[in-house]
Amino acid sequence: MLDVPANPPLNQAGAILTVDLDAVGDNYRRLRERLDGVECGAVVKADGYGLGATEVATALLREGCRRFFVAHAAEGIALRRAIGVLPEIYVLNGVHPGAEDDCAAAGLVAVANSAQQLVAWQATARRLGRRLPVAVQVDSGMSRLGMAPGEVENLDRNAFDGLELKLAMSHLACAEEPANPANERQRLTFDDLRFRLPPAPASLNNSSGIFLGEAFRYDLARPGAALYGINPTPCSGNPMRQVLHLEARVIQTRTLPAGTGVGYGHAYRTVAPMRTATIALGYADGWPRHTAAAAFFETEKLPFVGRVSMDSIILDITALAAGRLRPGDLVEVIGDNQTVDEIAGLSGTIGYEILTSLGHRFHRRYVGG
């Protein structure tokens, strides 16, 4: 593999990704306010939805967050090194066979999604001669991960010997649709299943679940997306603050006569003279190739023209006075003018995918926190 630095210096990178850690902290406080005293954890899987799990978790520790959730054992082990021994780190996908000792050594809480995972974790505790923390995920209706109702019922009476049950949890399939009756059905199933487990704190809510009301709150919320500025209530306005700003550098500007083909396939042809700028951002950076969005210079909207290339995009800058935008200048492609959710909407996807797809060629900068 080519040894390009993970965070290239500003003068060598084509684009700058700025993560506002004050906005992350602010979003955490806004969710906590909503939760009215119920504990709020944080989901930092996929390297904090692409924004940097270490930086995000460190900022949230300062806000008082003490429970973090990742997807994989490897993420949990790395996060443990980054944030010290005290906070709880849950591995949502559970511990794969063979990874138990590594997870126990890192002090991770295994989420048991099946009786089999629970048995393996219990065997590890027995072998190591100490109690290990565990969470149980039950499937209340999403059919993705978690113990099915029959499986919960058939758990061995001694299934939790040698283990400390930290959390009974489940995940909502339709939380961003408050009127969907599946939410209430899942809540009732969750109540039924969790009472078949030893007594433990309970957790059902992701970001959108926090906005479903009091009955869904239980003892702990597990937001991810909303912390990163994604709208948890897509049916109404976004109560969260934008966290991410992406700016790309202008490589060159040109003046094209009418009738000029622009970019691959000449997918665009000018109908009148046009001034263009080519910027250093492309689909290799995670920008969706079929998304015809715009860039912003100050408040001027500069539409993309032609196809998105691997490393560049062409903008129509005719609206700007000649010479106002120069090589080296930065234009904004994600930020307050054009949010992650808006780009997702134009791309036929969700903000989660936009964030986690953003690449590693950017210069990354953290502000606040």
* Per-residue burial over 31-51, b = 16 or more CB atoms within 10 Å of its CB, e = otherwise: bbebbeebbbbbbbbbbbbbb
CA atoms of 155 and 89, how far apart (whole Å) = 25
48, 141, 162, 223: residue in contact with ligand PLP (rule CB under 6 A)? 223
Judge residue 315's burial from the number of C-beta atoms within 10 Å of its C-beta, 0-12 exposed, 13-18 middle, 19 or more buried: buried
Binding characters for ligand PLP, 183-212, by CB under 6 A (x = yes): -----------------------xx-----
Residues 24-43 that bind ligand PLP (CB under 6 A): 43
14, 76, 133, 224: residue in contact with ligand PLP (rule CB under 6 A)? 224
Q: Rounded to whole angstroms, what are the CA distances from 273 to 21, 269, 294?
A: 43, 10, 19
Count the site residues for ligand PLP by CB under 6 A: 11
Q: Rounded to whole angstroms, what are the CA distances from 282 to 83, 249, 289?
A: 34, 12, 8
Residues 225-244 that bind ligand PLP (CB under 6 A): 225-226
Q: Cβ distance 293 to 304 under 8 Å?
A: yes
DSSP for 204-257, written as a single string: ---TGGGGS-GGG-TTEE---GGGGT--S-TTS---SPP-EEEEEEEEEEEEE-
301 catalytically annotated: no
Nearer to ligand PLP, 41 or 282 (CB): 41
Binding part of the chain for ligand PLP, among 25-33, 156-164, 217-225, 266-274 by CB under 6 A, reads 217-225
CA atoms of 141 and 146, how far apart (whole Å) = 10
Nearer to ligand PLP, 175 or 331 (CB): 175
Q: Residue 315 CB, nearest distance to ligand PLP (Å)?
A: 32
268 catalytically annotated: no
Q: Residue 223 CB, nearest distance to ligand PLP (Å)?
A: 4
Nearer to ligand PLP, 75 or 316 (CB): 75
Nearer to ligand PLP, 113 or 278 (CB): 113
Is residue 263 a contact point for ligand PLP (CB under 6 A)? no
Using CB under 6 A, list all residues that contact ligand PLP. 43, 45, 92, 171, 206-207, 222-226
